[in-house]
């Protein structure tokens, strides 16, 4: 899961990012409300954690701009006051849930988990191509009916490639889907994962083509995505 954190307080932001990353989630952290829409248009986030009290435009305004563009990613708002007005305003602006500061990190994690589960239940829970199938909810992959064993990194790479089937994706895009902006494996590691995946999915009628100078393209044997 890839999360965008919007928080202008440095120590709060660091603590929140650490807590979210401890769950294996990729976290990008921005500090200004103005940066929310550009970031959300640039990357596909699964969830946004949005502080209400930001310098510049506040969290409500940032959220209003996001929803005005029909960007429907789930948003968990962090409010400093437990006021009914704030809560109503947040929900009316298009927040999916809210958490009152100060909160305990385990509670934040539980809210994020619950919210992403809810969002997943609405979205398709499966990626399919050829006879390859990834059940994202159960975290299980199959070729036909046969289970396919994947490491966590292989899972992440393959899920991203399948989600972008028919499009050329760069190693950098794969990397950024796996982890946050400032950590993680090298692009050489991506080549290793891709070659392992090719060996594992050879029977599935799915090809990961190398596009020299650009990256990879996933398609089935008839060239469909
Ligand atoms: Ca703040």
Structure confidence at residue 123 (pLDDT): 64
pLDDT score recorded for residue 179: 63
SS3 57: coil
Instruction: Please give the distance, rounded to the nearest whole angstrom, from the Cα atom of residue 120 to the centre of ligand 1.
Output: 28
* pLDDT at site 124: 64
Which residues, 6 or more positions from 63, have their beta carbon under 8 angstroms from its beta carbon?
A: 36, 50, 75, 77, 90, 93, 94, 95
Strands 168-169 and 215-220: antiparallel
Q: Of 132, 160, 130, 134, which Cα lies nearest the Cα of 1?
A: 160
Phi, psi dihedral angles at 155 (to 5 degrees): -60, -50
pLDDT in the model for residue 224? 63
- pTM attached to this predicted model: 0.57
CA distances from 58 to 24, 34, 78 (A): 29, 9, 11
pLDDT at 84: 78
Phi, then psi, of 134 in degrees rounded to 5? -120, 120
pLDDT at 187 (0 to 100): 76
Mean pLDDT by 10 residues, the chain (225 residues): 96 96 95 96 93 93 91 90 78 87 94 84 76 87 93 88 87 77 69 94 90 89 68
* Separation CA 69–CA 64 (nearest Å): 9
Residue 121 confidence (pLDDT)? 62
12 CA distance to ligand 1 middle (Å): 8
CA of 176 to the centre of ligand 1 (A): 26
Q: How many angstroms separate the alpha carbon of residue 79 from the centre of ligand 1?
A: 9
- Angle at alpha carbon of residue 2, lines to 41 and 68, rounded to 5°: 30
Token digits for 49?
Answer: 């954690």
State in Å: Cα 55 to ligand 1 middle.
Answer: 7
Residue where the block lists tokens 């760069």:
170
Instruction: Give the Å distance between the CA of 141 and the centre of ligand 1.
Output: 41
**Token match 């009290």: residue?**
53
DSSP 114-145: HHHHHHHHHS--EEEETTEEEETTTTEEEETT
| Helix count and strand count (H, E) for the chain | 8, 12
């Amino acid at each position: 899961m890839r999360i965008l954190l919007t928080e202008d307080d440095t120590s709060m932001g660091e603590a929140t990012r650490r807590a979210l990353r401890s769950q294996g989630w990729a976290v990008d952290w921005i500090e200004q409300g103005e940066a929310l829409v550009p970031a959300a248009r640039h990357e596909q986030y699964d969830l946004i954690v949005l502080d209400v009290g930001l310098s510049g435009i506040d969290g409500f305004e940032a959220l209003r701009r996001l929803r005005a563009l029909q960007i429907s990613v789930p948003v968990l708002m962090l409010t400093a006051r437990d006021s009914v007005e704030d809560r109503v305003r947040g929900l009316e602006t298009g927040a999916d849930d809210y958490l009152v500061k100060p909160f305990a990190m385990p509670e934040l994690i539980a809210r994020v988990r619950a919210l992403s589960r809810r969002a997943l239940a609405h979205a398709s829970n499966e990626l399919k191509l050829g006879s390859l199938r990834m059940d994202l909810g159960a975290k299980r992959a199959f070729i036909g009916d046969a289970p396919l064993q994947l490491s966590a990194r292989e899972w992440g790479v393959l899920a991203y490639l399948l989600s972008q089937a028919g499009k050329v994706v760069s190693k950098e895009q794969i990397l950024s889907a796996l982890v946050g902006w400032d950590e993680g494996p090298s692009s050489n590691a991506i080549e290793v994962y891709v070659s392992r995946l090719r060996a594992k999915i050879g029977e599935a009628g799915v090809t990961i083509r190398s596009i020299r100078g650009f990256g990879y393209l996933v398609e089935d044997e008839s060239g469909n995505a």
